[in-house]
Amino acid sequence: MKKMKRGLCALLAALMLFMTGLITSFAADTSSANHFNVVFVIDASGSMKQTDGSLWRYEAMDLFLGLSTDEGNRMGAVVFNDGIVTRVDLQAISGKQMKEQLSQTLRNSQVSGDTDIGTAIQMATAMLDESRDTSLPSAIILLSDGNTDFPNDTTGQLLAQSEANKQDAINRARNNSYPVYSICLNANGAANPEELMDIANATGGVFMEVNNAEDLKAVFEKFYNMIYSTATTPIVDDIIPEGGVMDIPFEVPSMGVEEVNIIISTLSPSSTYSIFQPNGLAFTSGELENMTIKAQTFSVIKIPTPQGGTWKIQVRGIPGDAVKIDMVYNAYFTVALDADPSQTSYGTGSEVAFTAHIKDGEGQDLADQSVYSAGNATLSIRSSENDGEILSIPMTLNGQGNAYEATAKLDQDGDCYAVATVTVDGMEKSSGHLEFTVGEGESEAETTAAAPTVPAGPATVQWKINKLPFIGGTAEYDLSELSQDVTQWEITKSDFAKDVVYMDGDAVLAADKGSCEDGTVTLSGTDSQGMAQEYVVEIAVSGLIGMIIFGVIGLLILALLLFVLSKILKGTKKHAFKGDIMAIAFDNNLGMMDAPQTIRPRQGKEPMSRYLSEGGGVDLKQNFFQADESPDYIWIVSKNGLYSSGNPDKKEKKIKIFSGMEVTVSKNRDLDCGIQLTYTSDQM
């Protein structure tokens, strides 16, 4: 019992750190620094009677609610077993009474049944889709003591449906930026944490396993690294001295603090607490009562709009009694980062000037120069691929004293992001990520400077269609040969009827040979950044009618030409895929393995990004599936080359995968991340 209680205490602390980490993560990308949409997903399966019979999970949630700001949040909850036990729709949570009401509703949920995690998180994502405040960031807090389990499901149908629901929820979470912060309550050491870990990793959240008090150190270390906007600050962890009175001073920053939360973790009935403001006046007992949320093992005193300066907590009690008090700020200032030149790509060796501004709770630039001079800032350039630090340099005040600035030389190629971290009065806040690509080619600025030398107007290409007498059929033109960057094609003008020349799929222009004559088609191609380019396709149709007037010699020549022509057409034909491909993305360094995806590309050479959402470090836009005339194998075509389990010693730009063979492809020689691919021919 003591071991279980220690584990649940660790859970309580872990969830408090989740709250801190959430405030941190969300503040970087929103002016509403401490306001967010959050859905609690809480396990109420039968096993929870043994692992958490005292309902400590709700104690942990009470701490989360206590730390959250009294205004501006939307919260909801799903309590589940092998179905949905309780659903509390997403709603604005304001003040102490609504927080206590939400907590009590969940505490009344019955505990029984098996465990269906997929259906529970699917409902949570649906609630966010339907009712979230779109101006706020969102998150899901998932707590369970194990994994999805249907011991009486002899057909496997329930498990299959749960897996499908889970994948749908993960896709929604990825598309809408709902990170899932999952906690495995492994109080008896029998839980399998892999499912909860996979969900967190797949959605950009964080996984934590809690089983005993020794885990607290690792929990604190891991989550302190996530803290940018606030931190859990220890005020005192001591015993009441002789005389029975302890005076404990603490500092509140002079700006940017919406609320201060005082967390008292020692609740001796003989101890009383007073809080003195910087002006020397104390709160009355009635005022403290209204500001306090109480649970079985802690109390949170919430001080709104606190005055900056030195405060004091006075504790009166029995000498020798323990006193443990921590503090969490809810900050409301944010940091904005700009780049000059502002681009999505830069040439290798480019120098870029970065500027960071502090903004107040309303999103306006802070005009107080004394705040900037009292603080400091750091610029970091990090890899988008593995989050490794490429460059870290201090930022200095600009000439006006109302911003921080730094110039970075971009020497390392790859996808990167820049982030500025500002520290004021002990509080840290980071900007959102400025994402860009560094490469050996020209930067956007260099390309733009050269633009006037490029003739204006649409790109023009010629498409010759060979037309045989009395024979129809369809001719196809692969538009990806015009541009690999275009994601959407549209016919804007045509000399032909809609059923003569038309779009066949996303990137194929088709023509009816029997009706097509000479003419032009104008296309608009739009890339992923919304930039459009016009293309004119000039179609020229040629026939072989004159050849039929010749005799035997003419027929033999015609037969020969038809034979040669068939070979040419066969060589350029886009073969259809004649089997399924199962793909599993993984990254052993991050402990990530995506759910298997079974796909069937259409024909020809198709980019992986059209079918897969996760590549384990493989650039899905630069790598392709390609069909072959033979159904026995397919090809992986790579622009820059990949290592494979068939040839791990060198990169290849074309990798053959036979039916029934499992092949791993990776950007790394040691194959520690990438995609596991299995091709199954229809003829097997």
Q: Token pair 């607290």 is at which residue?
A: 216
How far is the C-alpha of 137 from the C-alpha of 7, rounded, in Å? Answer: 30
Where does the pLDDT of residue 63 fall: very low under 50, low under 70, confident under 90, or very high at 90 and above?
Answer: confident
Domain covering 579-681 in this structure, CATH number: 2.60.200.20
pLDDT for 448: 41
If you average pLDDT over residues 292-314, what whole number do you get? Answer: 85
pLDDT at position 674, please?
A: 92
Unique residue bearing structure tokens 């859990």: 232
Is the pLDDT at 485 greater than 70, yes or no? yes
Look at 360 and 680; give whichever has higher pLDDT. 680
Question: What are the residue ranges of CATH 2.60.200.20 in the chain?
Answer: 579-681
Q: Measured between alpha carbons, how far is 367 from 546 in angstroms, rounded to an integer? A: 83
pLDDT of residue 51: 66
Strand order in the sheet with 232-239: 232-239, 322-331, 257-264, 299-304, 292-294
108-122 tens-digit pLDDT: 888 888 889 999 999
pLDDT tens-digit readout, 577-609: 889 998 999 888 887 888 888 888 888 888 888
pLDDT band at 99 (very low <50, low <70, confident <90, very high): confident
- Let me know if domain 334-449 sits in CATH 3.40.50.720: no
- For position 124, what pLDDT does the model report? 96
Residue 669 pLDDT grade (very low, low, confident, very high; cuts 50, 70, 90): confident
**CA 288 from chain center: how many Å?**
40
Residue 5 confidence class, pLDDT cut points 50, 70, 90: very low
Domain 2-224 sits in CATH at 3.40.50.410
Average pLDDT over residues 363-388: 82
Q: What is the pLDDT of residues 416-439, one digit of tens each?
A: 999 998 887 767 777 878 889 998
Cα separation of the two ends of the chain: 56
* Lowest-confidence pick of 58-62, 125-129, 163-167, 212-216: 212-216
Tens digit of each residue's pLDDT (9 = 90 or more) over 36-45: 899 999 988 8
Q: What pLDDT was estimated at residue 553? A: 57
Q: Which helix (H) or strand (E) element contains residue 115? A: none
**321 near 286, Cβ under 8 Å?**
no
Q: Both tokens of residue 156?
A: 């496997």
CB atoms within 10 A of CB 542: 9
182 pLDDT more than 80: yes
Measured between alpha carbons, how far is 141 from 193 in angstroms, rounded to an integer?
15
Q: What is the mean pLDDT of the chain?
A: 80
Residue 443 has pLDDT above 50, yes or no: no
pLDDT at 441 over 50: no
Residue 154, C-beta contacts closer than 8 angstroms, at least 6 positions apart: none
Report which residue type is found at 490. Answer: E
The answer to whether the beta carbons of residues 661 and 563 sit under 8 Å apart is: no
> Higher confidence at residue 302 or residue 23?
302
Phi and psi (nearest 5°) for 450? Answer: -85, -10
**pLDDT classification of 210: cutoffs 50, 70, 90:** confident
Mean pLDDT in residue range 83-92: 93
Q: How far apart are CA 207 and CA 198, in angstroms?
A: 8
Q: How confident is the model at residue 77 (pLDDT cuts 50, 70, 90)?
A: very high
3-state helix, strand, coil in the chain (%, to 5): 25, 40, 35
Query: CA-to-CA distance for 657 and 582, rounded, in angstroms?
Result: 12
**pLDDT over threshold 60, residue 677:** yes
Count Cβ atoms within 10 A of the Cβ of residue 627 and give its class: 0-12 exposed, 13-18 middle, 19 or more buried.
buried
Is the distance from CB of 436 to CB of 383 less than 8 angstroms? no
Torsion of CA 20, 23, 29, 32, to 10 degrees: -160
Fold classification of 456-572 is: Immunoglobulin-like (2.60.40)
Q: How large a percentage of the chain has pLDDT more than 70? A: 81
- Asked whether residue 675 carries a pLDDT value surpassing 90, the answer given is yes
Contacts of 352 (CB under 8 A, 6+ apart): 339, 340, 341, 346, 407, 408, 410
CATH 2.60.40.10 spans which residues of the chain? 456-572
For residues 476 and 504, the answer to whether their CB atoms sit within 8 Å is yes
Non-local CB neighbours of 457 within 8 Å, separated by 6+ positions: 534
Work out the average pLDDT over 608-617. 86
| Least-confidence region, from 152-161, 171-180, 558-567, 668-677 | 558-567
- Write the burial class of residue 498 (CB in 10 Å: 0-12 exposed, 13-18 middle, 19+ buried): exposed
Q: What is the mean pLDDT of residues 163-192?
A: 86
User: In DSSP terms, which residues pair with 525 in a beta bridge?
Assistant: 489, 533
pLDDT over 90 (residue 494): no
Average pLDDT rounded to a whole number, residues 78-97: 91
3-state class (DSSP) for residue 117: helix
Q: What is the pLDDT of residues 273-286, one digit of tens each?
A: 999 999 989 899 88
Distance CA(213)–CA(352), nearest Å, equals 47
Per-residue model confidence (pLDDT) at position 130: 95
The secondary element (H helix, E strand) that includes residue 303 is strand 299-304
CATH hierarchy code of domain 232-328 = 2.60.120.380
Contacts of 160 (CB under 8 A, 6+ apart): none
pLDDT, mean of residues 607-633? 88
Residue-wise pLDDT tens digits, 218-248: 433 333 233 224 557 788 989 999 999 999 9
Instruction: Give dist(CA 418, CA 408) in Å, integer.
Output: 10
Q: What is the mean pLDDT of residues 72-98?
A: 91
Higher pLDDT, 684 or 660: 660
d(CA 354, CA 395) in angstroms, rounded, equals 9
How far is it, in rounded angstroms, from Cα 599 to Cα 609?
Answer: 12
CA distances in angstroms from 114 to 34, 141, 190, 324, listed in the order given: 36, 20, 16, 39
Output the six-digit token pair for 236.
Answer: 């005192």
Q: CB of 592 within 8 A of CB of 616?
A: yes
Q: Which part of the chain has CATH 2.60.40.1930?
A: 334-449
pLDDT at 197 over 50: yes
> 22 falls in which pLDDT band (50, 70, 90)?
very low
CB 125 within 8 A of CB 178: yes
Q: Residue 209: which pLDDT band, with cuts at 50, 70 and 90?
A: confident
pLDDT at position 603, please? Answer: 81
Which DSSP state fits 365?
B
What confidence score (pLDDT) does residue 552 get?
A: 55
Position 379 scores a pLDDT of 94
Contact between 379 and 356 under an 8 Å Cβ cutoff? The reply is: yes
Q: Whole-model pTM?
A: 0.50
Q: What are the residues facing 248 on neighbouring strands?
A: 313
